[in-house]
Structure 1
């Protein structure tokens, strides 16, 4: 039996660097095993919980706001670290990943393994393209997500 592995690129490609998650998921096509679920989400908690229902491993690729900002800097976060970011700082969305994780915990719907790969943003303006800082970090962000997928499949007996 193989593990169910889900990769979710969270973000909005029409809002500049917020499109990093979806761009990373697109870059993963053909680089991960065919049975890996590749999805894009706007980050709304109910949709996120539906996407990771029944998954053994969930890899989230997300844009991250930090203060002070270091656009293009990469982070790999545990669920506790992602949940520990203050609302409005850990996400470029109105409801952040931290709130989604808290809801999943309350409903006992956290996957056994959840890894968050995030890139710090420069610009999330409507209609903007990925900034140079985020665009140049995209190959490494994608590789980190791919490595998490490989590790998840390697854990399968």
Structure 2
């Protein structure tokens, strides 16, 4: 175990609320430990797998489009929950996060822990800027992500002091 923590903001800031993940990553710059990897991804599975390669913890921040939409509603999912989402219901991208996680598991490339923080979207049409419901939910989404980073660091520290394989 490396102790490496990666935060990936998935989305496209040029598609309205799909920019929520990248916005969270930008907000975290300078407010999480320097060894935390902060990255933005368009969600393409090959790039996602590369971003979290060798990480103990991956925190993914994503925009969700659900059939019964509640724009601005926040969700926290495990890798299993996210992978179990039906194709096309949970992601604003062609190949969803669920498929990416299933692929990573099949290839044995899944980090030890994956946490997905997501916000339900109102608008993913071309254009910059978040809708009011998503913009209002952003501080809570940022805080959830920050807490996940802190919990991952504490878990790494406990494993190191208890003789686990994690390193600084």
Class of the TM-score when normalised by the shorter of the 2 chains: over 0.9
Separation (CA, whole Å) in 1 of partners of 2:85 and 2:55: 24
| TM-score when normalising by structure 2 | 0.91
Taking only aligned residues, the RMSD between alpha carbons, in angstroms, comes to 1.1
Query: Which 4+ residue blocks in structure 1 deviate beyond 3 angstroms?
Result: none
The correspondence of residues 1-157 of structure 1 with structure 2, limited to 5 A, is: 3-156=3-156, 157=160
Separation (CA, whole Å) in 1 of partners of 2:76 and 2:127: 27
Answer yes or no: is the 8 Å Cα contact 2:17–2:130 preserved in 1. Answer: yes
User: What residue is the counterpart of 2:164 in the other structure?
Assistant: none
Separation (CA, whole Å) in 2 of partners of 1:103 and 1:12: 22
Using the TM superposition, give the Cα deviation of residue 3 of structure 1 relative to its aligned residue in structure 2, in angstroms.
1.4
Answer yes or no: is the 8 Å Cα contact 1:2–1:153 preserved in 2. Answer: no
Q: Deviation string for 1:47-94 (max 9, x for gaps)? A: 000000000100000000112100000000011111111111110000
Aligned residues: 157
77-86 vs 51-60, greater mean Cα deviation? 77-86
| TM-score when normalising by structure 1 | 0.97
Answer yes or no: is the 8 Å Cα contact 2:2–2:55 preserved in 1. Answer: no
Larger CA Rg, structure 1 vs 2: 2
